[in-house]
Structure 1
Amino acid sequence: MTNARRTQAERSAATIAKLVEATIEAIEQVGYHSTSLGEISSRAGVSKAAIFRHFDSRMDLVVAAAGEVSRRHLAVVAELRIPGSVAHPVDLAALMHLMRNQIRSDINTVWLELLVAARTEPELRLRIAPVLRELYDELDELAVSVLTPDVSSEAARLLATSLIHMFDGEAILRTTYPRPELEDARIDHVAAAFRALTGPTVPGP
């Protein structure tokens, strides 16, 4: 009986994983509003009836997908917490390139789609707010662990949030109006400003 229960639990987990993955792919490829239960079931190879054995609503499935996207983001950046993985003073340009590449990834397109949709959908906004808050809290703490003692904890959090906002906007705009020269120059200028901020203090007169 125990083995039977374990097998059923494994099957259920596998179906949930397929549904979440199909939801992520659908939102990334056809957009949030076109990600219907029919679209999800077709991509997952699971009937609509089977979806409701695991999720009460489309919204629950979308929120589960948002949580998985958050986990994948954190898995990528978690390596920066490994001791010795970041030299001091920090090479901010290298970190910015890593951050920009992750924000331009297909998986982050899902976040951008959800954030735009949440502007006009109160339920979606309410449901994904805790997921987004947890993600930003983790990124804030990561920034503190990586950037201090080069800058204060407050400055590290401010810098991380500012860079995320900058690269999110860039990721949206570059689809319609790419400006690669400006985008690359932006990283160089921000990194130069960071070096000036964290360089040796010049004694006063």
Structure 2
Amino acid sequence: MSSREQHYAKVREALTDALRKIETDDDDDDDQSNVMMIPTPFVEFQDEFPEQLYPEVRIERAIGGGVGGAGSSSSSSKNNSNNNEVILVESSRNSFRVSVKLKHSDELDAILTKQLSRFMRQRAEQFSIVRKKTTNSDAFDLSFLVTQKHKKQFVNSSLVAFMVDFLKSVDGEISEQKLSVSSRGRAVAEEFLGGFC
């Protein structure tokens, strides 16, 4: 298994675990006295409901090489190099949030990533789990928020598969766009410089 496949296997495992931790009304029938009924996700109110949160899972992948570890961490201030893809999974009893930093190996990557993130955030209503605003806009490009409603509405394996497939396709799409920009730039340079030869 390649390092890229290992990375996405760890992402799939972390998302599946976070989805499994979301309690639905069916799960809570025997323990109604312990459940706090608020309409918003606990993960969005970390300061108000710290007892409802599970440890964060941070998954990093160095663009040039190996896979970073997937493990629990209490803070998001680990080595946050621009050459790493970072996926942060924050889960609670009624929701989980996935914050994604896409690859920024060079300036063109950063421009393409910014455009893609902007496109997704503007269409957040159509992709019901995409958030309009990321958790920390300096550190992450996109955020997804999955709640109890989504767990009931969608097939759980499809929800996880969508997010993993999205991350894979974004990676490939950015690489393809870079090649396209390079080939167009080369054609323009040849045409321009051809007049001087």
The structure with the larger Rg is: 1
Q: TM-score, normalised by structure 1?
A: 0.33
Higher strand share: 2
Q: TM-score, normalised by structure 2?
A: 0.34
